[in-house]
Structure 1
Amino acid sequence: MIEGYDLLDENDHSGLADTLSQQFRFTTVPTSYTKLKQYGFDLVHYNETELLPRIRNPRFWKGQIRKRSKELLAELERCIGLVSSRRAKYCGDLTHKRFKESELKTAEFLERHFIQSLDGERISLKEISEHNISNKKILFYEWITRVKGFDELAERHGHSSMMVTLTCPAYMHATHSRSGQLNKNYRGQSVRECQKYLNTVWRRIRAKLKRDDITIYGMRVVEPHHDGTPHWHLMLHCNSQHTSEIKRIIRHYGLQDSPNEKGAKERRVDFIDIDRSRGSSAAYLAKYLAKNMTGIEGKGEGCRRVSRHAADCARAWASAHNIRQFQQFGGASVTVYRELRRLRDNTFDSDIEPARQAADASDWATYCEAVGGVGVSNRTQTIKPYYEQSESFERSTGEIIQPGQPENQNRYGEAKSKVVKGLEVAGKVRKTRTQLWTIVASPPQSDVSPPARAGCIGTGGLGLV
């Protein structure tokens, strides 16, 4: 509760947003940070110039309140034992219900809104979302492509592969897995704090590997235990001669906290060496990707049946706690890969064409080699994303505000952030997004439906797969 308002009651959000924006209208920056901390809003990542116009804006507060209320509800359910193997796995029933309601509202919004180009072409947002990574099936296929590509890279270069599982200490778990009873040793850590712990462990591992000049690449999946406590699965590829040292480093940092607690050495850090005669690394990781995206209705190699409901609960958990479930480490930029796929025709440019053809064929391994090889990073690869401030469209006057003009601002009076506009290679820029689109809230006032775009593929700045 904040001054008579209930964070868990969505009907109170608008009123609370107005109240907070008025309350912070004349506060100083130090007082604002103190009050924000008191109210449980973590906004320290904004500097003084960025903070003040935001906390005086009701629209900003409504988004913060919605985000905080989701997390608060999920934490309450977890702390009182409503999230467990015996009650509701991954997230509580109310969290899951609100997540599904949010999905329905999003679907309704997409159905009622369109993007329109300056020449009058309209495309449904729903149609767009069905053909890009907003569609969880398409996102799953892209991740499988990347996982398989890394596996092929490792095989080409004779590298070793291993599955690593990192788990939080026992005192961070709210309930016991078998009985579902509250854990008497639980110290009240939130999911966010558990995720921060795992991130810290991983940063220390990466820093040590960098100091020792050991290169790794692969994928990470974050998923919840039965009680919502996060744990990580990493598919890691490396030079075979570094395997033992990497395991030692991971085990060292993974067991720095409470190394002598019961079961720590057996459960907190686990390794599975990939034997390619029995299956690829993609087969190992596919289960975890599917479990957290689409569910697994049948049985496959290394997989057990996981219902779509369980996958929905995992996604609801990630949404409530603002968890980034899937992340790549090492390897080439996926942004460049997606932009290359927007170039449908031969570029006749030897610096771009090999990578474009590999991306167009969904060949992640060849794409990585075309832009720099196994050890390539976003900073060292030969093709980089090109960022530029977008044009703005003033609806009231019809004026187009060009990039760099002082009037090209967001609602907080700041210059609009730069966005991906194309690719940069060898000092040359190749634009992949050339049209200006604006969102309209309703379809044309006629019986004619907006023109569909076959496959939703083009160069008009939609960011489609």
Structure 2
Amino acid sequence: MITSHQGDRNRIFDETVQTDIYGRLAELARGLHVTPEYYSSYQKTLRQRTQGKDHQTMPLRQVYAAVARLISRDYWLTKLRSHRTRWVESLMIAAMDVCKQHQPYASQQAIRAVKSQRLANLRYLQAMEIEDTDSGERFDLIDKVMASIANPEIRRMELMAQMAGIEKVALTRNDIGLFVTLTCPSKYHPTKLRQRGKDNIAVLNHRWKEAALTPKDGQRYLVKVWSRIRAAFADNDIAVYGVRVVEPHHDATPHWHLLLFTDKAHRAKAVEIMRKKALAEDPDEKGAQQHRFECKHMNKGGAVGYIAKYIAKNIDGYALEGETDFETGKPLTETAAAVSAWAATWRIPQFHFYQLPAKGVYRECRRLRSLSIADTLGEMAEKVRKAADEGDFAAYIDAQGGPCTPRKEQTLRVAYKTADEPNAYDEAVQKNSGDLCTTSPRYSHHENAVKKIPASEKRTRASGS
């Protein structure tokens, strides 16, 4: 670089040169299956260069932070360990050790590794204490963690309470429920089922052998499909809200279950859009029309009961005694551990709410004791706090403006601030300030007001209790 600029050392700090340096380092890192930070920004820069647009360089701060990571031992150790775990699991999948007749969802090695890590985490928590810096009071860290959504039982109860609230809102609005299942094309599935006597036996899928796509690739495909569906909803002014559950097929390929609500007038169009986008890739392959997209229309009420099994199966197997898994025929109480290990191994988020108010505000409000914020943020903000404090998710949704309300127009938001110290890579860190703020004059005359939550007035308790 310096030689090409007649020995001018200062040119190395030019944004164009730094962007080129980043590109070369990124190429080397990706050769080791590690995608460096801000790679999407670099790709955008390349597109702008090709199109002759402005901003043909990356910000220097992004380049510096990315390079700082690439020369960090801890960064590489974390990335390569994660890659090793997924690579080993990919080999298990390719060897058909992860399928219906062997070990469905995740290999025994992956299940043992996740259990071992969780046991190590538990022992660490049991050995640690935390101290309130204001009062000097000390607590066992494990007690605080087990009273949070890190506890699977509490996480399940919170999700179920929130699903009940969503259904209550839908009934009030006379919206129609849709239970949608999205699956990947055949090339994402390592195995396919063949009839052998009375049983279905998993055999190697020759379509998959060509690309050897991983469960992570399957998740990326489904995310892309859903992004196209959301864009089509926006283009057609269709308001849809609900929740997504991700779970694996027996061979570890992900599929999505979505419990969605929309008004009756847009139901048919919404289904048409989802079916079209789900079948855009490889629409003519065998079984695509029957299995790639399924939609069941829900009657009024009962939607939560329908999805409860999927929530329990993906967390702790609660209340599933006597229930068998559709794909494997095994008891659902036994498969919950394998499904949980699958999600941890491939880093796939299992639950996601769509077009509903922020969960962060809900949890911050639940940490307040019965302290009114009406004087600071207005009566509507107090309704939000009160609904969250009482665990009434339906009232919380309504007080935040209802489903499909843009984040910037919701009654309350969590305030963030820049930390006093940058992180190890010299980046400014945005952190939860413990404050609530409102910038929506529709709900409060206290525009841009901020309510500080004193530490002494917070309480730790189960969010879903």
2:396 paired with 1:367: yes
Q: How does 1:67-82 map to 2 (within 5 A)?
A: 67-82=82-97
Matches of 2:82 and 2:325, distance apart in 1: 34
Q: How far 1:291 moved relative to its partner?
A: 0.5
Q: Which residue is equivalent to 2:65?
A: 50
2:84 paired with 1:63: no
Pick aligned residue for 2:409 from 370, 374, 380:
380
CA distances 1:160-179 after superposition (whole Å, capped 9, x unpaired): 00100000011210012431
Pick aligned residue for 1:172 from 183, 188, 193:
188
- Secondary structure of the corresponding residue to residue 185 of structure 1: helix
Matches of 1:310 and 1:321, distance apart in 2: 17
Pick aligned residue for 1:183 from 202, 205, 214:
205
2:101 paired with 1:86: yes
Pick aligned residue for 1:413 from 426, 441, 449:
426
Q: Which runs of 5+ in 1 are unaligned?
A: 1-26, 391-402, 436-457
Q: Which residue is equivalent to 1:35?
A: 28
The change in CA–CA distance for 1:301 and 1:214 in structure 2 (over 3 A counts) is farther
1:459 aligned partner, one-letter code: K
The change in CA–CA distance for 1:65 and 1:40 in structure 2 (over 3 A counts) is same
| 2:65 and 2:426 in contact (8 A); partners too | no
Pick aligned residue for 2:385 from 347, 353, 356:
356
Pick aligned residue for 2:308 from 286, 298, 313:
286
2:460 paired with 1:430: no
1:160 aligned partner, one-letter code: I
Q: Which residue is equivalent to 1:322?
A: 347
Task: Give the alignment's TM-score, normalised by structure 2.
Answer: 0.81
Matches of 2:92 and 2:323, distance apart in 1: 35
Matches of 1:93 and 1:302, distance apart in 2: 20
2:389 paired with 1:389: no
Q: Which runs of 5+ in 2 are unaligned?
A: 1-19, 40-61, 194-199, 439-446
CA distances 1:399-438 after superposition (whole Å, capped 9, x unpaired): xxxx4xxxx1222233333224221023211123647xxx
Q: Which residue is equivalent to 1:226?
A: 250
| 1:219 and 1:327 in contact (8 A); partners too | yes
| 1:164 and 1:233 in contact (8 A); partners too | yes
| 1:296 and 1:306 in contact (8 A); partners too | no
Matches of 2:110 and 2:103, distance apart in 1: 10
Greater shift, 114-123 or 376-385, is seen at 114-123
2:172 aligned partner, one-letter code: R
The change in CA–CA distance for 1:224 and 1:302 in structure 2 (over 3 A counts) is closer
Q: How does 1:252-291 map to 2 (within 5 A)?
A: 252-276=276-300, 279-291=301-313
2:163 paired with 1:147: yes
The change in CA–CA distance for 1:56 and 1:308 in structure 2 (over 3 A counts) is farther
Greater shift, 254-263 or 225-234, is seen at 254-263
Matches of 1:167 and 1:338, distance apart in 2: 32
| 1:358 and 1:364 in contact (8 A); partners too | yes
- Secondary structure of the corresponding residue to residue 258 of structure 1: coil
Pick aligned residue for 1:339 from 356, 364, 367:
364
| 1:291 and 1:306 in contact (8 A); partners too | no
CA distances 1:334-391 after superposition (whole Å, capped 9, x unpaired): 111111111221315013221122112211111111111233232221111111235x
Larger fraction in helix: 2
Identity %: 30
- Secondary structure of the corresponding residue to residue 231 of structure 1: strand
Q: How far 1:182 moved relative to its partner?
A: 1.1
Matches of 1:348 and 1:292, distance apart in 2: 37
The change in CA–CA distance for 1:59 and 1:301 in structure 2 (over 3 A counts) is closer
Q: How far 1:89 moved relative to its partner?
A: 0.6
| 1:297 and 1:307 in contact (8 A); partners too | no
- Secondary structure of the corresponding residue to residue 352 of structure 1: helix
| 1:333 and 1:377 in contact (8 A); partners too | no
- Secondary structure of the corresponding residue to residue 227 of structure 1: coil
- Secondary structure of the corresponding residue to residue 206 of structure 2: coil
| 1:163 and 1:274 in contact (8 A); partners too | yes
Matches of 1:105 and 1:389, distance apart in 2: 32
